[in-house]
Structure 1
Amino acid sequence: MTDWRGYGAVTGAYWAFMLTDGALRMLVLLHFHRLGFSPLTLAWLFLLYEVAGIVTNLVAGWLAARFGLAATLIAGLALQIAALVALTQLDPEWAMAASVGFVMLVQGASGVAKDLTKTTSKSAVKMLIPAGQGARLYTWVAALTGSKNAVKGMGFFLGAALLGWIGFVPALWSMAAGLALVLLAIIVFLPSGLTARVKGARFSQVFSRDPRINGLSLARLFLFAARDVWFVVALPIWLAGYLATGMEAERAFFLTGGFMALWIVFYGGVQAFAPRLGQGTPGRALAWVCGLALVSGALALIALRGAEASTLTLGGLLVFGAVFAVNSALHSFLILDFAGPDRVTMDVGFYYMANAGGRLLGTALSGLTYQLGGLPLALATSAVLAAASALAIARLCKPLQG
């Protein structure tokens, strides 16, 4: 029988976390852009966040198996609160190097928190659904992931709005207080079923020996690099500059955050709808990622036309979001479908380690490509990375194995 209470508790905690995660990213990005940081320096602010994600996902699956999903969920929420509070101590009088170093460290802690929470939430879905119900599993994981991304999109808008409305530090305090209330509720209401432990779990078991999981993880790495190469730094800086013409900075930030939020909410909505587009198979994943490469290439050509094609570029990015959403939903189902029943948290953790690796690669390339060639180069690089993901997922398709 499905544990609705457990699913609701995990989903609520995940939503609250991702709201603050999205808001924090926009707060940091726009605040330091306003202070005059270059695109490459802005990318550096988020690199440790992604590095921490790689390490955390590698360890989080083992920790969840060893100490229980409840423990890692509570730890993730508590660490995010600590990161928000720590950023309030940032001093405007510090030198740029000190500010960058401090923000990188705090963002690293936030990255650990995010992946503790994410690995716990995704693993919990498989544990809460009876075995042998693949269609329901696909629907539930798509609903969780899609709704999470919609909430994160609202966080992008919230972060930009709070920065213009109450300022950087008050925004951080308000988010920390809200998340603290959620943490208290989770401690009180989380069902006991998520406290189960596997005492014999060994750290060496986190490395998967299943070629399907390894191939899917490699495809995931390139898939998320293909998105973040234009989304993390290139798009918001390009958009803020485009909107700033004849407009005060606060309004430009507000509208930038609004489009970023719209993109994520739209992407999350399509992701939740993805199971209705067909079964989750490697063949379908291959077809959709090939489509993503074509969309990215077309967008790079459109963006070359400059400001006159800005509206068309923004519309095309929404198309990218729809195709990317189906890709992501298919991957999220396939990893849970492939994961062994006795090592769900470790297989999911290994897979999301690759996800974090893709985000790291995309983040680094986002600042670099935008600084060298603007949005068109970032989108062209996205097409190459999507093609690499297609090559990796092709290995999972039996017709292509001869």
Structure 2
Amino acid sequence: MTTTTQQHTASDLFAQALRYENRADPYPYFAQLCRRPVVPEENGTWLVSGYHEISRLLRDPRVSADRRRPEEEQPIRKSLLVEDAPRHDQLRHQVTEQFVPRIMGLRDHIDGLVTGLLDAHTSQRPGQLDVVGDLAYPLPVTLICELLGVPREDEPVFGSIARRLTRGLDPVETQTEDELRELREARGELVQYLEGLIADRQAAPADDLLSGLMFGQGSDAPMDPIDLRVTLALLLIAGHETTVNLIANGTLALLRHPDLLARLRAEPDLVTPLVEEVLRYDPPVQMSGRSTLADIDLGGTTIPKGSRVRLLLAAGNRDPRRFSDPDRFLPDRPGNAHLGFGGGIHYCIGATLARTEAQVALTALARRLASPRLVAAPPPYRENAILRGPDRLLVSFDRLTPDPRSV
């Protein structure tokens, strides 16, 4: 009887964390789940909320990144996000060879993009800025378009597709029939769009990541056409969706801690640990899915082979067994080895780029916004529970100053 009660409790807590009315602050429910770091739901899915337990599973070769059951629809080819070694390693190597050299030395360019986006709203009079729509979204979208070789004017097309696809990442029980239908339609639209993009580049190669994957030299190059389409979809969508949340969540943390905002304005180097604390305190990706390839003893219990597992990264990031005073936002926190970018072989391939974008954007906001204030507290959030962040983030200011370095 005790076990059944505990299972019901875990399922109820997780359901509450997923409810939209709790989107602004799911952390009290995660904190309660964290008291039992490994627990099954009623449907047989296991919830893992402890930092040490999540870290272990992220690095355990007996855990698969593909969390779908065999009877579920399978695509022709899977992205590296849900592939296991050695297939994952081959795909990741192909992407890394082309991606990493292209993002090195981009900080000045990112700085210029941020400056331009804010300059469009420069005013010596009181005004408002939507940090999401005016900065956090257009910045990573512009960058990923430039890197991949995607026309910037196509953003409304893949932006619409991305919003529907990312909603599909949430637990299926939280989605309506209309949303599931839209998910299927979005997948078809994305395939059609990418096939056209690939055909264009086949006819006219360019100096971009897409051409590099199609024609590049190397041990694993060029990339197989089907793998190319799947990988391009992953990079196009993941390359901006999570960074939007990182910048918005970071801005929100600063506005709620005006002492830190003032400190960042005076100490720009604070931005490096500050972004790491955002990734711990309010991560843009709240959870991830896995499945077990063998029985795994963990947290005083055994997760059976073939089980689905939800790794509650946001809960692990606030595990009091790992982080002291976990509900406080402390940029000076020592040893901040958070789970914000995952871990193991699936550690976020775009982590360096996302960090740089957030660091530059938050520094510019601190430097240029005079007396910024939240218009709505809490702000309206996106529907997504897994990719969690504000849908809009309206900020009032007394003035938005020109970049002092160019005056």
- State the TM-score, normalizing by the size of structure 1: 0.32
**Structure with the largest fraction of helix:** 1
Say which one has the larger Rg: 2
- State the TM-score, normalizing by the size of structure 2: 0.31
**Structure with the largest fraction of strand:** 2
